[in-house]
Structure 1
Amino acid sequence: MCGRLSQYSSIHDFVAALSMPYALINYAGDQPFELYNAAPSTQLALFHQEGQFLRADMVRWGWRPHWVKDRAAPINARVKKVAHGAFFKAIWLHRAVIAINNWFEWVDEGGPKKQPYLIRRKDRAPILCAAIGQYPNAEHGPSEHDGFVIITADSVGGMVDIHDRQPVTLSPVLACEWLDPATPQERAEQIVLLQREPAEAFEWYKVDRAVGNVRNQQSSLINPHQ
């Protein structure tokens, strides 16, 4: 995953996609986010479950433990290492979901510049990505150390031609199970390792190279480009 995505719907559209029965604690606002070209360090709407509530906060994309000083905050965590490595140990139990509209990848097609592609669900429904992070809760407000990473896995099916890694995306049922604090750690690991959505649920197409400039945020960036 190259590090660019879109989150332009409203929090209520994303809640509807999750189909969770719990009441929403909403710190993300009610208006559409209109983030068509979000880059690392952007504040994005992140879901986690807090008791019998679903909570949404704006959290920075990217996280590193406090003891790491010599590298930028990663934005992704490899699924085969995240549950057992020391780097993400502090946040492995802090499961979250980031709902997005699409993400972008860049492909070397032999030209002077790589060609960007947009990947989205064929049914246009929000994409529910497994994540972990450090984020506000009932006991602690926002902190400068807050952040999250998206869990990624090897690409499968035709998506391999676009990029060798992709976000771990979950069905609404599995996303709710992933968010549930009562879900055992072993089961959570099984969900992200073995039960992500198939490549057949997605489609991809070329978009304008203007998406490469993070200053460009216009809605036309998600349109097909020949």
Structure 2
Amino acid sequence: MCGRLSQYRGIHDFVAALGMPGAVVNNVGDQPLGRYNAAPTKQLALFHIANDTLYADPVTWGWRPHWATDRAAPINARVEKVAHGPFFRQIWPHRAICPVDNWFEWVDEGGPNKQPYLIRHRNRSPILCASIGQLPGQDRSEHQGFVIITADSEGGMVDIHDRRPVVLAPDLAREWLDPATPKERAEHMALQQGEAEEAFEWFKVSTAVGNVRNYGQELIEPV
């Protein structure tokens, strides 16, 4: 998965997609988020549950443990290793959902520049990405941040990129967020129950999306 996505709807649209109509502690505001070209190290809206309450908080995209000073903070975690490897061991229990409208990938099609593609749900509904992180209100010995869990692509999506986010249907996303869900069940969901390739569509978009200084709505239009 490439490191660029869109998160432009309002947080209440994402709450509705998640199917949790109760009260939410909203720390990201009520206006549309308006991020058409969000990049790593930026703060994105993230859902998590604490004290039986759903929170929407701005959290930095990217995380590494304090001892990993020899590398940049990863933005993604491979589903095959995330539950058992030492790098993410501390945050594996801290599950979250990153709601997005779409993400971008770049493909070498033989031209002078790689061609960006936008990937979204066929029905245009929000995409609920399984994530983990060091979240607000948790251990202050580590800085806040999160990573999106990724899996191998399937079907025609392989032609766009070999990795993609683990996207959960709303009922599974709610179960993922629930602190009472056992770690073993969470691992099974991430490994086996992500949405299939058929749920998505993709198309070419302007190469302007490659510049993080570009952020307008035109970046998500087909070319």
Q: Give the TM-score range, shorter chain.
A: over 0.9
Give 1:123's aligned residue. 123
Contact 1:44–1:58 under 8 Å retained in 2: yes
Distance 1:125 1:72, change over 3 A: same
Give 1:71's aligned residue. 71
1:149 aligns with 2:119: no
Q: Measure, in 2, the Cα distance between the counterparts of 1:8 and 1:133.
A: 22
- Report 1:98-113 matches (<5 A): 98-113=98-113
How far 1:140 moved relative to its partner?
A: 6.7
Contact 1:75–1:148 under 8 Å retained in 2: yes
Contact 2:47–2:98 under 8 Å retained in 1: yes
Deviations 1:157-188 (A, max 9, x none): 11111000000000000000000000001000
Give the TM-score normalised by structure 2.
Answer: 0.97
RMSD: 1.3
Q: Measure, in 2, the Cα distance between the counterparts of 1:113 and 1:207.
A: 13
Deviations 1:91-143 (A, max 9, x none): 00000000000000000111111100000001100000000001113x678x9
Give, as a single letter, the amino acid of the residue that structure 1 aligns with 2:53.
Answer: F
How far 1:23 moved relative to its partner?
A: 1.9
Residue 173 of structure 2: which of 172, 175, 180 is its match? Answer: 175
Where do 4+ consecutive residues of structure 1 move more than 2 Å?
A: none
Instruction: Give unpaired runs (5+ residues) of structure 1.
Output: none
Give 2:53's aligned residue. 53
How far 1:70 moved relative to its partner?
A: 1.1
Give 1:33's aligned residue. 33
How far 1:53 moved relative to its partner?
A: 1.1
Give 1:23's aligned residue. 23
Contact 1:28–1:58 under 8 Å retained in 2: yes
The aligned length equals 223
Report percent identity of matched pairs.
70
Instruction: Give unpaired runs (5+ residues) of structure 2.
Output: none
